[in-house]
Amino acid sequence: MIKMYRKRGDENIFSSIQPNSVLAQIPITTTHPVPQAGIENANNPDRPIHTNSFYANAFLGQQNRPVWTHPYVLWWGDRKGGMVEEGFIDSMGMCVGHTELAEFGYGKGTPAKFFVAPKKQSFILGAREFDRETVLTTDNHLPFSVNINLKRGTAPDSPKITFPVVQGMSFVTAAYENATPMIQTGGKDGFEEVGPPIFIGKSVKYHLTKADPNTFTLPGGFKGTIQIAKNPLGGEGETLYDQSYGTFVTEATLFATVNDTKGIYTFNYTKFGDSPLLMFALPHHIQSLDPELAPGITKLQLQTTTKGVATAVKSDHLTLIETNLPISLSFAPWAPPPATTLPVRPQTKYPPDVITALAPIADADMHRAMTEEIPKESMYYAGKALAKFATILWIIKDILSNVELSNTGLDKLKLEFARYVQNQQKYPLHYDDHWKGLISNAGFAGGPGADFGNTWYNDHHFHYGYFVYTAAVIGYLDPEWVNQGDNRSWTNTLVKDFAGSEYAARDFPFSRCFDWWHGHSWAKGLIESDDGKDQESTAEDGFSAFAIKMWGKISGDANMEKRGNLILAIQARSFGNYFYLSSTNTNQPLPYIDNRIAGILFEGKVDHATYFGATPALIHGIHMLPISPASSFLRPRAWVREEWDKYFSEDRWKQVEGGWRGVLMMNLALVDPKASLAFFKDGVEGVWDEAWLDGGASRCWGVVWGMGLGMIG
């Protein structure tokens, strides 16, 4: 049953971007290097598979990597011919675990280089009939839920267990068909004390405590459900679970509205059973929970792996409210307005001396943008170069009021952008009808590492966000361009690929990258991983939402603009809770928070590192890059100061070479715009080096950014 909950009947912002279609210039491929392991979708073969989903490990590779629902983790025990991990039971069932904070492992150093929540075989839900011929399949692939099945044989009456999996579930539910339940509780952390059966209606409850291997076998041919849950709260927790037993979620849908600076989004749960639901919520959920749901907040809490402590909430829906949407955020330098003023800041007027100093810098930047070749090997680097060019043109037009020069550059930018719209770049995009998405063909020959894994669906919000932003700037400078040729359709197709807004679309999944439950995106695509999905750049995640917002505004898609604003507000909350580690952070482990940044945040661990280097400038800089107007909204100033003082103050930034120096100094403008402006305006001791600029940044933007933040506070 489902009961749709919404606030005041407002319009749902998850509306269609454009009709399903693939542009004629984009080839369609029906094969992909990555097979779909165990996917059963005969009932809905056109439903897109969610490549970057929390449950993707279940249909990738060997299918035995973990799936995190928070607070629980599940993985198939099949070792695929490998060795059984020390202390673990060899089983073909579904392993279920939960790890307490005291059991976390830490890397060397102070603060710790990483932390990880080790897997625990707290329970194994299997069947006596299971052997090495058992297979894992998935079906009903939805944005926030999936069914994971274990079955022996292909006949209709073959032994089978179905696990309906949804984020935040309070019970791990196993639905048995024609199987003899076998529940193992051994491994490293099983149970030695089993209480007598307790009858609740037609159901039976057992208490299991302490550690030692045990195996329970129920009668053969069983058809019914077995649910397990962890209870650290004694009698009070048991009562909560008793009130919700027998009920589980089969689907979650999302409904959202935006009015001015207020956004409301609701997870509506379809459930099997009549009991009220008990769902776990993450810390950022509790912070933004609808006050009407406050009476449902319980004392039942369980540690998650990388998202702090989850709190159980009694409700059949989860409604969250953001009241600080950055609706006035635009292309210009921006700072959050004081709470006592209207949420719109006046246009910044730059003094004549700044204009005089800026003009030759912008002219030089323009010349370089006009003459430098756009990188050919990578959608990512090409997007960065085009976005840089677009920002330079915006400065020349809006700050310097040099319309003639701006138009000259705009013609060149349109020409470069058209190459991608027409799909004539070195590695053209293909529509992948296998996984349902827009991918570079670079990986067909180059493998999963080509263009940062674009063909494997890695980093699509990073790559395509730069193009969407560029389109927004071009459309701002020349509104007629939006509706010329395929400009609108092509840009919208990019948005649909990484931020699709239709729950039941045919050509692209709903919200491939941004995870509305976690509050941030996952960058990892079709790659199985022991540590789960991950993300190493909050800045590019935020920039992709900023691009969606601005393209929606410029192209006239009000709901897209609203989605961008709401995503930014959710990101600001999520980043501050899990990625940006201020001294007051209470969600990540104490031995880790003095790193000041998460680094790479996985589902199962957090590592103060990057995929391309280990210096502080790289680890912290990738969470700064690109500096955009959204940076002021996403990066809290008090934390920025803490991070700067720990790693880059007292001239330590001068030891940073290359473009990362410019990234650091643009970030400094958030807390010291005067020093940042001096760097980009005058260089170091009167000397400027273009090597200090990242490939997506310009010196003139550094000047405008520093001066703008200095003027608006």
Active site residues: 459, 536, 540
Each residue of 380-417: b (16+ CB within 10 Å) or e?
A: bbbbbbbbbbbbbbbbbbbbbebeebbeebbeebbebb
Torsion of CA 440, 444, 446, 449, to 10 degrees: 60
Give, in order, the Cα–Cα distances in Å from 208 to each of 93, 214, 607, 620. 19, 10, 34, 45
DSSP string across 338-363: PTTS-S-PPPP---HHHHHHHHHHHH
Burial (CB < 10 A; 0-12, 13-18, 19+), residue 315, is buried
Contact 114, 608 (CB under 8 A): yes
Cα separation, 606 vs 171, in Å, equals 26
The tokens describing 253, both together, are 């849908």
* Other beta carbons within 10 Å of 706: 26
- The structure tokens 């129920």 sit at 218
**Among positive and negative, which fits the CA dihedral 439, 442, 447, 449?**
negative
| Helices 487-499 + 460-477 axis angle, to 10 | 150
| Segment (H or E) for 540 | helix 538-555
* Other beta carbons within 10 Å of 343: 15
Q: Where are the beta strands (DSSP E) in 399-513?
A: 429-432, 437-440
Cα separation, 277 vs 244, in Å, equals 6
Closest CA to 325 of 307, 343, 339: 343
* CB neighbour list of residue 209: distance below 8 Å, 6 or more residues apart: 191, 192, 193, 195
Checking phi first, is residue 82 left (phi over 0); if not, alpha (psi -120 to 50) or beta? Answer: beta
636 prior amide bond cis, ω within 30: no
Closest CA to 238 of 207, 277, 273, 203: 207
Cα separation, 76 vs 94, in Å, equals 5
DSSP string across 88-141: ----SSEEEE---GGG-EE-STTTTSEEE-----SEEEEETT--TT-EEEEEEE
Cα separation, 496 vs 499, in Å, equals 5
* Other beta carbons within 10 Å of 179: 25
Own/partner long-range contacts of 439-443 (Cβ < 8 Å, ≥24 apart): 440/379, 442/377, 442/378, 443/33
Strands 429-432 and 28-29: parallel
Cα separation, 588 vs 606, in Å, equals 9
**Among positive and negative, which fits the CA dihedral 182, 186, 189, 194?**
positive
Cα separation, 655 vs 676, in Å, equals 16
**Among positive and negative, which fits the CA dihedral 30, 34, 38, 41?**
negative
For the chain, counts of helices (H) and of strands (E): 16, 31
The tokens describing 411, both together, are 């013609």
